[in-house]
Structure formats: C-alpha cells, structure tokens
Amino acid sequence: MNRPVQALTAGSAELSALLLRVADGDTAAFQTFYDRTSAKLFGVILRILNERQESEDVLQDVYLSIWRKAATFDPSKASPITWAATIARNRAIDRLRARPPRAHVPVEAAFDLADDGPAQDAGLLHGDDVRRLTTALASLEPRHAAAIRACYFDGVTYDELATREQVPVGTLKSWVRRGLIRMRGALEGSEA
C-alpha cells in the first residue's frame, strides 16, 4: 500500500523539478510539464464550462499563467498538480462568470419547436424488427446462422470465415445464401 504513495511522491517531485526549470525559462521542461498535466487540467476546466472550444481557450490561458507564475510555486504548500489545477479551476470559474447571461425562455416555447428525431413508435418498430430478425436467425442451422452473423454483423469476409471454419469459400457462400433464403421466408411469414 506504500508503493502508490511513493509513486505519487516521485511524480510530484518530478513535476516540482519541472516547474523549477520552467521558472528559469526552460521551454523543454514546460513542454514536458504540459504533456504530463494537460489532460487533467483540461478535464477540470471542461467539467466547469461544459463547452469544448471554450475549455481549450481557457487551457491555453492556464498554461500562460503557469509559465508566468512558475517561480511562485511552493512545493511545501501544495503539490504541483494541485497548484496547476487550482489555477485551471479559477480561470474556468472566471470565464463562467464572464459569460453573458442567457436569455430566459419560458418552457411553453418548446411546444412550438419541431422535433426532427424519430417518432416515438419508431423505437417500437425497430425493436420488433430486431426481434423478428433474431427469431429468423435462430430458426437456421447453427453453422449457417453463425456464418451470417459473422459476415453481416461482424464484418468478417468470406475468405476469412472460410479459413476459420476450415471449409472452401464456395461452401461458406452456399451456407450464407441458403441461410438468407430461409430467413427471407421466415421474415415474410412473420409479416402475415
């Protein structure tokens, strides 16, 4: 259990050393610090702003601040990632507060909006299609059903499947063809 704490301490020590070098104007150290911390800081900012483009802009501002303020970092007060995350959080909150107020629109206005999504019954129809297809596949000989699933649902080529099943490609194509013919009959019969 001591091992993760040691790794965390080693990581913090490395980031602290990078910040000391950044304070001296070392651009390579700054690039390394960015590479090791940008994903975390971007996550902090994105969680606050909920807009990717704006979060990317704020992240750029954050690293500009880190470059300028690296000399003020004190490892006795905070870990380097906590220090950087605090800068990111504060910048994101500042940006959030600077946003213009959003217009209040009454909820009743939504009744007049067109809905381009599928109709409610489309999900039911799709579910029924899936059920019918599953039933039709289940009615086939297992090898034929497996071949159809592999070719049409998994994207396996006839050649790959023939090799895997250790049968000639022509035999495999016959399985698929016969299976599809039987499925069509089963599907046409279930429509009646």
What lies within 8 Å, CB to CB, of 147 at 6+ separation is 161, 165, 172, 175, 176, 179
- Please tell me the predicted confidence (pLDDT) of residue 131: 83
- Please tell me the predicted confidence (pLDDT) of residue 107: 67
| Range 141-154 burial, b when 16+ CB lie within 10 A, else e | eeebbbbbebbeee
Domains along the chain? 2-98 (1.10.1740.10), 120-187 (1.10.10.10)
* Average pLDDT of the chain, as a whole number: 83
**What is the percent of the chain with per-residue pLDDT over 90, rounded to a whole number?**
41
pLDDT at 67 over 90: yes
At 74 the three-state DSSP class reads: coil
- Please tell me the predicted confidence (pLDDT) of residue 4: 41
Element (H, E) at 6: helix 2-23
Alpha-carbon torsion 172, 176, 179, 181, what sign? negative
Q: How many angstroms separate the CA atoms of 85 and 81, rounded?
A: 6
pLDDT of 111-148, one tens digit each? Answer: 666 666 655 555 555 567 778 888 888 888 888 888 88
